[in-house]
Amino acid sequence: MKDAYSAKEIAKILGRTRQNIAKRANKEKWHYCTEPNPKGGGFCKLFPFSTLPKDIQAKIKVYEAKQLLKSNSTDLNQPDCSLEPIIKKPKKVENTDVPPWAQEIALARFELVMMFSEKKGLKEKQSLIEAYNTGKLFPKIYKKLGKVSLKTLYRWQKTLNEYGNDFLALAPDWGRAKRGKTKVTDEEAKILLSQLLHQNRLKIAQAIKITKYILKEKGIPSPSSPATLRRFAKSFEKAHYDIWVLAREGEKALIDKVLPHLERDADVLKTGDLLVADGHKCNFQVINPYTGKPTRPTLIAFYDWSSRDVAGYCIMVTENIQAIHLALYRAILRIGRIPTVVYLDNGKAFRAKVFTGIKDFREEGIVGLYARLGIHTIFARPYNAKAKPVERFFSTLDSFERMLPSFVGANIQDKPARLLRNEKFMQYISLNYTPTIKEAEAWFEKWLDFYRSQPSKALNGLCPKDVFRPGPGVDPKELYMLMLCEKEVKLYRNGIKLFGYWFWNEALYGLKEKVIVRYDLHDLRSVLVFTQDGEFLCEAKRLEKVHPAAAIFGDEKSYTEIKKRLSEQRKLKKLTKKLVQMGINASIDWQDVAEKVPEVIEDIDKNRAKAVKAFKAKTDDVLVIDDSEIEKFSLPEPEEKPDRPIFQNETEKYFYLMDLKSKGEILTEEDVEFIKEYEKDPVNKAVVSLVKSQNPTSSHDEAIGS
């Protein structure tokens, strides 16, 4: 039996840990003495046997007796294997699955032990440790390990010797043995997760308090501390982030934060191949041109994906068809070509029938603007902002919005000081000015020059203006005609009803069939009218409302408009009466006349359309047509020669000339032209065929008499 025992030896005898024995010794204040450690250097505590508690003395005596019995029963003929060999083979580190953070600590310990081993003598080693613990000798190692005692370094040195200087032997086991295990009970975890995995998104601290209260009310023990429950909640969030996000934030957050996304290669695109269109509610105010009050406008932008440049834009009060139409027009002119594909927002204005030709994705209608221009359209899924790279530009736009005097802030917390309560001084010194839409567009254009000259990471350090390569160009007049909106409408007695206005032209008189109207959304003073076969009819101008008593109240403009319309009514009435009279004189059936009158009107309209076309060839303005100029293209009446009789009507003249032709007389060019024009009229054809059928061999006088 020994005179003194160390804490390690006592722990081995009692079957406990060394820390447990040391804790009891400190608590009960056991007497001890120190001696140099013969194995690893340093000093160790030894507890005399006579001073130990009685229960421990008894267990030591029993242990020593058992060891003595074992040694006496050993076969003396067997070799003594208790002696350790002189040369030991180094141990191997069994658990090589060491996380990176543990490997870093192991390397730092290894480096410190190597420098410790180089020192000779206890004083040098103590000096090294004292200098190290100041944090100035090896600051990087000290940052990872902190303060280290002399005894700890001896222990690390011994461990390295046992494992053949394998630094992984010094890796800490903090938490590795209990990885995946938790002290939280099943009831605690169940109730805590039911509180946290809810769309109301309780805070973790609140959920822990509620969990503790519920368990207390149910009489279920809850041994875990709030800190332990918090660590459990955090570890669950990291291990099951998809469940955490979907349960608390919804499906959109799952798509935006957790699910993988496609990486799209924009380097394969050229300028104008793909435009991305979207609207952005601006964070500044402009003057509303309709009300005169300040309002936040909407920026419609067509963003070239290849160069990250804004090809075309429009600042309007609201996101409407007119704004999108103008932005697309500007974009095509700037890129110098018709874009191949346009990636559109899924908003109502972008999906308008006038642009896409469809009411929705499943219902087809007339061909829309994009189809007419040969542009393929792609619509983004609703609430999927990451699909449109133009959203990244809108975040960059914040720098422009903050420079304007009418900036109102991106949100409630971002308001400028002048808009906060009781900030009279800031209101006094601020520039209280709200620009118009034109001024805002002019400032935005200057800011775009700055934006296009800034390098972009998405362009590998190049600027948008360096990558932007426009096409050969587009004729503005031809593009204007292509981008006119198209609609099939019904004709009424007052002409065409469109956007609450009436549009009228004499060429529409007497027509009842549907026609195709093409119009400019930004200029509704007139519209172009075509037949369903695509033949141009006329340009119908908008009819303005007149004063109910213009002559009395002295409204000269309305009075002039009334006189003009009444004159037009008399003219059209006279034309119809003349056609009907011609039918009666030629003894044509009333039903036949009713069928022929629209054809006569249509023929007159065609002549007028030819005059319009000839007039367009002489002017650059495709929409302004002066009726006074068109009258110059009307055909003059042929002059009657004095030697010829006075004809009562054109039919009499026609048969007279045909009689001369049958007798072999040579007709003048005017006579030949008159016969051709007369025979073009369907009513005249009917009259001639009717007369010839009744008198196939009659002469001129007989035909007239009949």
Task: Find out whether 99 and 129 touch, Cβ atoms under 8 Å.
Answer: no
Please give the span between the terminal C-alpha atoms of the chain, in angstroms, as a whole number: 162
Name the one residue in this structure whose structure tokens are 């109910």: 548
The number of CA neighbours under 13 Å toward the Cβ of 267 is 7
Tell me the C-alpha distance between 476 and 486, whole Å: 18
Residue that terminates a domain, selected from 419, 438, 467: 467
Facing residues of 81 across strands? none
Residues 336 and 425 in one domain: yes
Q: Which helix (H) or strand (E) holds 48?
A: strand 43-48
pLDDT at residue number 604: 52
Assigned domain for 31 exists: yes
* pLDDT reading at 701 higher than 70: no
pLDDT tens digits, one per residue of 535-551: 888 888 888 776 666 55
pLDDT at residue number 94: 65
Tell me the C-alpha distance between 440 and 555, whole Å: 38
pLDDT at residue number 78: 45
Grade residue 209 by pLDDT with cuts at 50, 70 and 90: very high
Give mean pLDDT, residues 489-507.
85
* pLDDT reading at 690 higher than 70: no
pLDDT at residue number 286: 94
Distance of CA 96 to the CA centre of its chain: 48
Query: CA angle at residue 98 from 97 to 103, to 5 degrees?
Result: 150
Facing residues of 378 across strands? 343
DSSP for 180-205, please give it.
T--S--HHHHHHHHHHHSSTT---HH
Q: Is pTM, for the whole model, over 0.85? A: no
* pLDDT reading at 277 higher than 80: yes
CATH number, domain containing residue 276: 3.30.420.10
Grade residue 636 by pLDDT with cuts at 50, 70 and 90: very low
**Which of the 8 DSSP states describes residue 413?**
G
pLDDT tens digits, one per residue of 5-63: 888 888 888 888 888 888 888 888 888 877 777 666 667 788 888 788 888 887 887 78
Burial code (b: 16+ CB inside 10 Å, e: under 16) for 19-32 equals eebbebbeeeebee
Q: Which helix (H) or strand (E) holds 230?
A: helix 226-239
pLDDT tens digits, one per residue of 383-431: 665 667 788 888 899 999 999 999 999 888 888 988 888 888 988 888 8
**Comparison of pLDDT for 646 and 444, the residue scoring more:** 444
β 376-379/341-344 pair status: parallel
Residue that terminates a domain, selected from 121, 141, 170: 170
Residues 153 and 248 in one domain: no
SS3 486: strand
Residues 697 and 671 in one domain: yes
Grade residue 335 by pLDDT with cuts at 50, 70 and 90: very high
Residues 288 and 389 in one domain: yes
Task: Find out whether 4 and 49 touch, Cβ atoms under 8 Å.
Answer: yes
Facing residues of 376 across strands? 341
Find, among 478, 482, 508, the residue nearest to 496 by Cα: 508
Residues 341 and 281 in one domain: yes
Tokens of 427: 């209101």
Tell me the C-alpha distance between 332 and 479, whole Å: 9
Name the one residue in this structure whose structure tokens are 């990471």: 457
Query: CA angle at residue 417 from 411 to 419, to 5 degrees?
Result: 65
- Please count the structural domains in the chain: 5
Find, among 665, 670, 662, 664, the residue nearest to 641 by Cα: 670
Assigned domain for 92 exists: no
pLDDT at residue number 493: 83
* pLDDT reading at 438 higher than 60: yes
pLDDT at residue number 246: 94
Query: CA angle at residue 106 from 103 to 109, to 5 degrees?
Result: 155
**Which of the 8 DSSP states describes residue 339?**
-
Q: Which helix (H) or strand (E) holds 489?
A: strand 485-489
* pLDDT reading at 589 higher than 60: no
SS3 175: coil
**Comparison of pLDDT for 79 and 166, the residue scoring more:** 166
Assigned domain for 323 exists: yes
pLDDT at residue number 648: 62
Grade residue 79 by pLDDT with cuts at 50, 70 and 90: very low
Assigned domain for 534 exists: no
* pLDDT reading at 367 higher than 50: no
Q: Please compute Rg for the chain using Cα positions.
A: 50
pLDDT tens digits, one per residue of 302-327: 999 999 999 999 998 877 777 888 88
Residues 15 and 60 in one domain: yes
pLDDT tens digits, one per residue of 121-157: 888 888 999 999 998 888 999 998 999 998 999 999 8
Residues 222 and 274 in one domain: no
Give mean pLDDT, residues 453-460.
88
Q: Among 62-66, 273-277, 457-461, which stretch is predicted with the lowest mean pLDDT?
A: 62-66
CATH number, domain containing residue 61: 1.10.10.10
Give mean pLDDT, residues 432-445.
92
pLDDT at residue number 23: 87
Helix, strand counts (H, E) of the chain: 29, 19
HEC-encoded secondary structure of 119-148: CCCHHHHHHHHHHHHCCCCCHHHHHHHCCC
Assigned domain for 493 exists: no
Find, among 450, 453, 392, 448, the residue nearest to 266 by Cα: 392
What's the domain range around 59?
4-72
CA distances from 86 to 41, 83, 158 (A): 20, 9, 16
Residues 289 and 376 in one domain: yes
Indicate the average pLDDT of the chain: 78
β 495-498/501-504 pair status: antiparallel
Residue 336, classified by CB atoms within 10 Å of its CB into exposed (0-12), middle (13-18) or buried (19+), is middle
Tell me the C-alpha distance between 417 and 421, whole Å: 9
Give mean pLDDT, residues 86-100.
67
Q: Which helix (H) or strand (E) holds 480?
A: helix 476-482
The number of CA neighbours under 13 Å toward the Cβ of 328 is 30
Assigned domain for 180 exists: no
Q: Among 199-213, 580-594, 611-625, 677-691, which stretch is predicted with the lowest mean pLDDT?
A: 611-625
pLDDT at residue number 100: 83
Assigned domain for 307 exists: yes
Give mean pLDDT, residues 201-225.
93
pLDDT at residue number 195: 93
Is the Cα dihedral 324, 330, 332, 334 positive or negative?
negative
Residues 274 and 414 in one domain: yes
Residues 451 and 414 in one domain: yes
* pLDDT reading at 699 higher than 80: no
Residues 123 and 229 in one domain: no
* pLDDT reading at 221 higher than 80: yes
Residue that terminates a domain, selected from 415, 437, 467: 467
Give mean pLDDT, residues 685-689.
66
Residues 162 and 203 in one domain: no
Burial code (b: 16+ CB inside 10 Å, e: under 16) for 257-286 equals eeeeeeeeeeeebebbbbbbbbbbebbbbb
Assigned domain for 421 exists: yes
